Structure 1
Amino acid sequence: MTRDLFAGVAVSDLPRAIDWYERLLGEVESFDPSDAERVWTLAEHAHLYAVLDPERAGGAIVTLFVGGLDGFLAAAAGRGVTPQSQETYDNGVRKALFADPDGNEVGVGGGPV
Structure 2
Amino acid sequence: MPLDLFAGIPVTDYAAALAWYERLLGSPPAFLPNDTEAVWELAEHRYVYIEHRPEQAGNAMHTVLVDDLDTRVAEIADRGLRPTSRETYPEGMRKITFHDPDGNEFGFGGVSQ
Q: TM-score, normalised by structure 2?
A: 0.96
Moved over 3 A (4+): none
Report the Cα offset of residue 112 of structure 1. 2.3
Contact 2:29 2:38 (C-alpha < 8 Å) held by counterparts = no
Q: Which residue of 2 aligns with 1:103?
A: 103
Does the CA contact (< 8 Å) of 1:60 and 1:104 recur in 2?
yes
Per mean C-alpha deviation after superposition, the further-off stretch among 45-54 and 24-33 is 24-33
1:67 aligns with 2:67: yes
The unaligned stretches of length 5 or more in structure 1 are: none
AA aligned to 1:106 is F
Which segments of 5 or more consecutive residues in structure 2 lack a partner in the other structure?
none
* Contact 2:96–2:107 (CA under 8 A) maintained in structure 1: yes
- The alignment partner of 1:80 has SS state of coil
* Cα distance per residue 1:66-92 (max 9 Å; x no partner): 111000000000000111110111110
CA RMSD of aligned residues (A): 1.0
CA gap 1:62/1:6 in 2 versus in 1, 3 angstroms:
same
Partner amino acid for 1:62?
A: H
- Give the match for residue 25 of structure 1: 25
Per-residue deviation, 1:29: 5.4
Q: TM-score, normalised by structure 1?
A: 0.96
The C-alpha deviation readout for 1:6-38, integer Å capped at 9, x for no partner, is: 000000011110110110111365110011100
- Other-structure match for 2:83: 83
% of aligned pairs identical?
Answer: 51
Report matched runs for 1:34-49 at 5 Å.
34-49=34-49
Seen in structure 2, the aligned counterparts of structure 1 residues 40 and 19 have a Cα distance that, compared at 3 Å, is: same
> Between Structure 1 and Structure 2, how many residues are aligned?
113
* Letter of the 1:91 counterpart: E
